[in-house]
Amino acid sequence: MADKIKRIAVLCSGGDAPGMNAAIRAVVRTGNFHDLHVYGIYNGYQGMINGEIIRLEKGDVANIIHKGGTTLKTARSKEFMNKAGRKQAHQTLIANDIDAVVAIGGNGTFTGAQIFQSEFDFPMMGVPGTIDNDIFGTDYTIGFDTAVNTAIDAVDKIRDTADSHNRLFFVEVMGRHSGYIAMYTGLGSGASGILIPESETDVDELLGQLEKMALKKKLFGLIIVAEGNENGNAHRIAKIVEKKFTQYETKVAVIGHLQRGGSPTAQDRVLATRMGHGAVEGLLNGHHNVMCGIQNNEVVYVPLKDAIKKLKPIDSNILSLPSILS
């Protein structure tokens, strides 16, 4: 297989995540180490269709390991969702003599990669880059650690105001289908409550907890809410509490896309570097239609179909911590 792969391309698709540039750098430099020609595809799968492909050398990825976002840009391509668009993308790769593609992204990116592989028998390698940390088969995804640290930094600042004014803040973080950011942010900031999609937290349970706090004259606190929480977003939960407790002055803070940006943490840089390197090594060793992940600090290769379809639940031991520690 290694003899067949001489020219590889790398792209980013879907939402950006801090550390993507570190992964791109690792792909390019590992490819160069093995005397491969490495190409960058701009604007994700749409760029693959449009032929936005450029040769990348070692110097082209210098001084990017510390930068957030992605130098290759990223996009969601509706055209790639159609077979005609994928056929055009395949023709573009063939015209550029590309032998394999490393796709950095999340669930949607991997879904596109798997379909493309099945239709054209074209070697695809996934690298999990998403702040949500919701990809099965890897302990952590690129960008998650940075997003949590960004959220905790914001919550720490909000805590000062909450304490000074005896206010109850509901802080909404990203996570439409995954509560990893909310859970880790809540645990790391000592929040009074954490509401996530994976846990059937009853609003009445939260109200009971707040009632106990009020009896103890503790009128300030922090409740972390994942945007996909089944009971509603932070604004809705805050209104429910306002009606129940007049003694609480409630405020809402939505951190939003701040969590996507910023310089990646050391952990995300190292994680992305190992995954980018592992992706190229995997292709050269005959792995394709898989994702390169990290489990128990070891590089692993997980079928894309598993990474896409299998759920990655939050450990039950972690789920029990908020009620114990609040």
Fold held by 144-260: Rossmann fold (3.40.50)
pLDDT at residue number 37: 98
- The answer to whether the CB of 10 falls within 8 A of the CB of 42 is no
Contacting residues for 146 by C-beta, under 8 A, at least 6 apart: 17, 18, 19, 68, 131, 262, 263, 264, 265, 268
Query: How is the chain split into domains, by residue range?
Result: 7-143+264-309, 144-260
Write the CATH number of the domain with boundaries 7-143+264-309.
3.40.50.450
pLDDT at residue number 247: 78
pLDDT at residue number 47: 97
| Domains 7-143+264-309 and 144-260 belong to one CATH topology | yes
Q: Per residue of the chain (326 residues), what is the pLDDT tens digit? A: 556 899 999 999 999 999 999 999 999 999 999 999 999 999 999 999 999 999 999 999 999 999 999 999 998 899 999 999 999 999 999 999 999 999 999 999 999 999 999 999 999 999 999 999 999 999 999 999 999 999 999 999 999 888 888 888 999 999 988 999 999 999 999 998 898 988 766 677 777 777 777 666 666 689 999 998 877 789 988 898 888 887 778 899 999 899 999 999 999 999 999 999 999 999 999 999 999 999 999 999 999 999 999 999 898 888 888 778 87
Active site residues: 132
Residue identified by tokens 């792209």 is: 11
pLDDT at residue number 207: 73
In order of 23, 25, 309, the CA distances from 30 in angstroms are 10, 8, 30
pLDDT at residue number 221: 81
Distance from C-alpha of 141 to C-alpha of 271, rounded to nearest angstrom: 8
Q: Are strands 290-295 and 249-254 parallel, antiparallel or unpaired?
A: unpaired
* DSSP secondary structure string for all residues of 232-275: --HHHHHHHHHHH-TT-EEEEEE-GGGGG-SPPPHHHHHHHHHH
CB neighbourhood size of 243 (10 A): 7
